[in-house]
Amino acid sequence: METKNLELTTIGKKVKRVDAIQKVKGESKFVSDYEFKGMLYGALVLSKHSRARVKRINTDEAKKINGVKAVLTYKDIPGENQLGEVVEDMPCLVPIGEEVRYFGDVVALVAAESQQIANMAASAVEVEYEDLPPVLSIEESLKNEIKVHESGNILTSKKIRKGNVEEGFKQSDMIIEDDFFADYQEHAYLETQGIFAVPEPAGMTIYGSMQCPYYVQNAVPKILGISMNSVRIVQSDTGGAFGGKEDVPSYVAAQCALLAYHTKRPVLLSYSREVDIQFTSKRHPIKSHYKVGFKKDGRLMAMEIKAHMDIGAYATLSPIVMYRSLVHAAGAYDVPNVKVDIDGVYTNKVPCGAFRGFGSPQVLFAIESIMDESSKQLGIDPIDLRLKNALKVGSKTSTDHLLTESVGAVETIMHAMKIADYENLKKSVSEFNSKNRFKKRGIGVSHIIYGVSLGAAGQSLDAAGALVQVQRDGSVSVHVGNTEMGQGMKTVLAMIAAETLGQKFEKISVENTDTSYVQDSGPTVASRATLFSGNAVKEACEQIKSKILSMFSKIKDVDEEEVVIKDGMIFSGDVKMTFEEIVGICYNSNVDLISNSWFKSPKLNWDPKTGLGEAYLTYSYATQIVVVEVDMLTGRTSVVDVFTSHDVGKALNPVGLTGQVEGGFVQGMGYALYEEIKMRDGKILTDNFSTYIIPTINDIPQSIKIDFVEDEFSQGPFGAKGIGEPSLMPAPAAVANGISNAIGKRVKSIPATQEYVLNLIEEE
């Protein structure tokens, strides 16, 4: 049943974020705020090598410390000593005789009466190692002389074969070729990883900071050797995630659950920032080589791309991150001939995994740098070059996916140009440059595509449920399987529920995710919560609404078709009552006002052998124009202005969208300019925010002008697509292009730190 409201009352309007007040007042309950009687604190014993064989583990001294309740090793695992979401290559606790593969590998676990005692006991665990030579770079890994895993150093390879690139290059008037590198990025969520494991009479309840409660529900029973229905996962308020809490909480929960299982007491395992940065996944470093052919008029003819991803010591989510890198490598363009090869290689360093953009910002930086450089060499304005090659309805993507609807790419280019007042912007930048000798400004443009949700490689997980219940007083409880982690999901789902049910927005409550209410709804990733949970909520609300409408038409003897329910009122002409009144009548007549619904991805056809087919359900698009300023004496770069236009299908919550785009830009700018993981022998040295530098409020550009294109997607709730990741994705490329244009030399590696930029300026 379609929503009858011709005029939307909540969708597209300005609403108050549902969790704003509790967060501002410090009332949100993060996992470390929980307290249980008899609780213990956990700590990890981490590897002291990037590669070594464990010879002996001595826990005697640690166990003697007063207040220590458990010191566990691999021998204490009742189930399988196996973690890993996609490939089972990661032990929970490294056994004697096996290798530690990076500095974050865990050898033992401790639970004690206080965090101090737990930490003390963890350092009292003696581990004897046989030091082994590590693999610390993509190049060393490819030599395959030292194997990180016995299976070999190349975890997996993916490819696209569209058209014939050799022919395409023959037909090209200009061929451009270059190498690019995009380094690590740390998520830097405010709240570190944390799990509370609470033993129950039959099983266990796990509370924690997480994106994917159902991943945790898979991991914990496997480690404990118990059934899934004896473990209940309840998400606590989560202080940021950005992909960093996709699979990692499963590992944290496995560790914590083991401690609770053996001590039979509630255990809090909350990582310090240093442990968090050393242990948890990062954005993948990607090295890429691009060869791209153009016609004189700027038309793209062929792209040949070879890329290597440093996946670190364990596969974690890398195979699916690689899928996104593969599909996004050729950018947002209509190219007849495309050849892409990507290899993921193991190294003895921190495992890489999900991070906002999921393997796409790195390759988009490369292709957008190529587009920028080509526009110079072809003498075509960078905006015009993008327009010339942009995707439209009827175009085919790099995987040969025919686009049939909701392709707002060209509109985002036009809108970005308009809000930037592009022609005058170019003039003012060149005026600035002619007046200033030591400060130079540059305009950077980028244009991106984003495949929404999990796509063809993740179809088995691409569904989501909702359980909606209208209470006797007319207030509404919504349970979904996706999670709120700060991105604003609860608010947008409350808006969808309010709009669909016809109840007031303030009466809707979206609960924290609990695996006992809704079936496995896949991970909360891939900018899919609005689309998937949104559709599920909408469907559940429509089912309930139809019961309310039919009750009203029956008792008032009016035609059901004529009944409207809107903003807390139900009416047919002059006959009306409040939402609360009609709900009371339904309750008194024993009508059930609870509904369970399920939205699943339509089947996508994609062939892994050729990389061709329907890679994703739909795509979002964005265009960004930035102005950067570079101090030519110091290499210091700042972003002065940002203009960004995003095709979101439908702007359900404009305030929330704006917040996402501002935050995404700043996180992407941090990746482009400041954020640098420094290692020694594979150990991360920048393990706190004193050394790992992220943008502060002082670094944020004076203005970020944001525009939304609404090219509705027929299968999205009210036409919406996703924004979580597209908000970040254009930024690294746009900022890098801005620097290149300011200094007249090409940035080929990010982060383009002050040191890097100064070296580039001074290079002959």
Residues that bind ligand MOS (CB under 6 A): 211, 243, 246, 354-356, 358, 525-526
Residue with smaller CB distance to ligand MOS, 210 or 518:
210
Residue with smaller CB distance to ligand MOS, 246 or 641:
246
Nearest approach in angstroms of CB 643 to ligand MOS is: 25
Nearest approach in angstroms of CB 185 to ligand MOS is: 11
Nearest approach in angstroms of CB 273 to ligand MOS is: 20
Residue with smaller CB distance to ligand MOS, 354 or 531:
354
349-368 core/surface letters (b: 16 or more CB in 10 A; e: else): bbbbbbbbbbbbbbbbbbbb
Residue with smaller CB distance to ligand MOS, 571 or 619:
619
Contacts of 82 (CB under 8 A, 6+ apart): 88, 90, 91, 92, 222, 223
Contacts of 132 (CB under 8 A, 6+ apart): 49, 51, 52, 53, 99, 146
Nearest approach in angstroms of CB 211 to ligand MOS is: 6
Residue with smaller CB distance to ligand MOS, 62 or 461:
461
Copy the structure tokens of residue 14.
Answer: 């300005």
357 in Cβ contact with 320 (< 8 Å): no
CA distances from 418 to 490, 623, 731 (A): 33, 11, 18
Nearest approach in angstroms of CB 243 to ligand MOS is: 3
CA distances from 394 to 167, 299, 405 (A): 23, 17, 8
Residue with smaller CB distance to ligand MOS, 221 or 244:
244
129, β-bridge pairs: 54
H or E element that contains 668: helix 654-673
Alpha carbons within 13 A on the beta-carbon side of 120: 14
Structure-token match 């693999």, residue found: 135
Nearest approach in angstroms of CB 353 to ligand MOS is: 8
693 in Cβ contact with 143 (< 8 Å): no
Residue with smaller CB distance to ligand MOS, 50 or 211:
211
468, β-bridge pairs: 478, 595
Contacts of 627 (CB under 8 A, 6+ apart): 425, 429, 441, 442, 443, 444, 639, 640, 641, 738
The radius of gyration of the chain's CA atoms, rounded to the nearest angstrom, is 27
Nearest approach in angstroms of CB 354 to ligand MOS is: 4
45, β-bridge pairs: 108
Nearest approach in angstroms of CB 702 to ligand MOS is: 29
What is the Cα–Cα distance from 375 to 386, expressed in whole angstroms?
Answer: 9
Residue with smaller CB distance to ligand MOS, 353 or 474:
353
Residue with smaller CB distance to ligand MOS, 211 or 623:
211
479, β-bridge pairs: 467
Nearest approach in angstroms of CB 246 to ligand MOS is: 4
What is the Cα–Cα distance from 712 to 714, expressed in whole angstroms?
Answer: 6
Residue with smaller CB distance to ligand MOS, 41 or 323:
323
Nearest approach in angstroms of CB 461 to ligand MOS is: 12
